[in-house]
Structure formats: C-alpha cells, structure tokens
Amino acid sequence: MLTLIADRRATTLSGAAIARVREGLGGGTITVLSPGEAVEIACAEAPDLAFVRAALEGAAIDAIATQAAGRRKKLLLADMDSTIVTAETLDELAAHAGLKAEVAEITRAGMNGEIDFREGLRRRVAMLKGLSVAALEETWQALGFTPGAHALVATMRAHGAVTALVSGGFTWFTGRVATTLGFSVHRANVLLHDGRVLSGAVAEPILDRDAKLAALRELAAEHDLPLSATLAIGDGANDLPMLMEAGLGIAFHAKPLVAAASRARIDFSDLRAALFAQGFRAAEIVEA
C-alpha cells in the first residue's frame, strides 16, 4: 500500500498528482483517507519511491509504502527531542547557561552520527555543572509539542496500542511529556543534581541507540507482539537501529544520514502522517 500525505500547512494533495502516481504504478485502487490531505493506493508490488517522488514534482507530499496486511501497529516507540517535542531539550537547557551554540554543535554531531552518543552526552552535561535546577522548569515551560503529537498518541491508544517514549534526553522531561500526552511508558537518562544545581553528570548506564533498540525488543516481547506489529519514529542517528528493526520505522524530518537509511520517512507532514501510513482515516483520528 502506498500512502501519499500532503503537508496541509503548505499544499493540497491534488487529483492530478494522485493520478500521475497511480498511472505510473499500474492503476491500483485509491482510497481517500483525508480529502486533499491523504490517500492510499493499492499496489501489486512494492512501489518505486524514487519514481513516486519524481511524479510528485517537488510538492510537499510524503510517500510511505507499507505491507497491506498488519498495517495498524500495536506498539509505538517514539523519540522525544525534535520528534514529539519541537526542540532539543538539552540545547534549550544550555541556553540558560549561555552555552546553547556550543552544546547544540555537539548535539548536531551526535545526531548525525559523527561522534559517539554517550561521549557527546557526557560532554554536554559536564558543561552545565552548577546550573540551577530552576532552569529545568523554565525549559519545560518553553517547550512546544510537534503538530500531530497529541493525535498520534491518543489515536494509537484508542485503538489498543502500547505507547512508549524512549529518549536519549532526560527523565525530568520525558515524565512530563508522557503525562501530558498519555504515553504509557517513558524511558530516558537521569540528570544528576543535589536539588539546587546540576552536578554536571548523568547516571549510568546511559540510554543510547542500543538501549532504544533493546527497549523496542523488550516491550514487544512483554506484550507478546512480533516486531512486525511495532512502529518506531525518530530523527537522529541514535534512533536508526530501532527504526531499522521495527515493523514500520519512520524517520521524521530526520538528519540526512537517517533519512537516507530509513525505509519510510516523513519529510514534510506532521505526525498525523504516521497514522495515515497505518490506514487510519481522518474520522478515526483522536484530536486533542
């Protein structure tokens, strides 16, 4: 099944665009999921996504191919920073110490796979030694949720899925995000402090790319689910192992390395696209 999703903030999925793609793929049945926003096209074989993207002529439209059977997943594993929330929480926290640019550069290198994630995390946290814990609350208050985040979690929960937030960030934030959005599980790193200031250290062991993959496997096994029944979504290099192993792994507005390696990606649309890719119609989406 090929799903086409338009970035509703920038464009409309036109009949002409749908027709070009459908004709090039052999004329499969079209089902409208959301008028002007999302359709699915039945395909006899896996579609050539390079052809599909060329047929879309540069429009802000995502194309995701999935197996027709088992499309609706029973376990969601989501990254937090730049996926469920719009910012990198550690970078925003560093802004309170006047170090956002320096910390953001290390974050960028880590998310692009240029340095080891654990090494980069230790370096960034060490730079924040002595920062008041009040900066955590200030950072939280300024955070924004990615459009579609509420709908993604609420809709999958409403249809019986387990929802997990697994982050290389900190439990201080994941706990609040999980409570606000309704994630049933959250895991992240523990930022150490004495109640007044940050110690400049993070508790070991560090939750990294291997831990994210382990969480996917563990939660699937705990709920007696095959990996084919799982959805993982993230944007950085530390998300790639779980994206590659999940039944549906989606790179969301991802770093180039991650987007190139992923089987599915959302480049333009919001997080509702992950629901359309599973065959949900607009009327089935639970909006906040």
Q: Which residues are catalytic?
A: 79, 81
- Cα separation, 25 vs 161, in Å, equals 32
- With tokens 């982050």, the residue in question is 167
Structure tokens given for 132:
């008041």
Structure tokens given for 242:
């779980």
Nearest-5° Cα angle at 224, 218 to 229: 85
DSSP 195-229: SSBEEEEEPSSP--HHHHHHHHHHHHHHTT--GGG
Short-list 61, 72, 69, 70, CA closest to 34: 61
- With tokens 């995701």, the residue in question is 64
- With tokens 């925003």, the residue in question is 92
Cβ count within 10 A of residue 260: 10
H or E element: which one contains 17?
Answer: helix 15-24
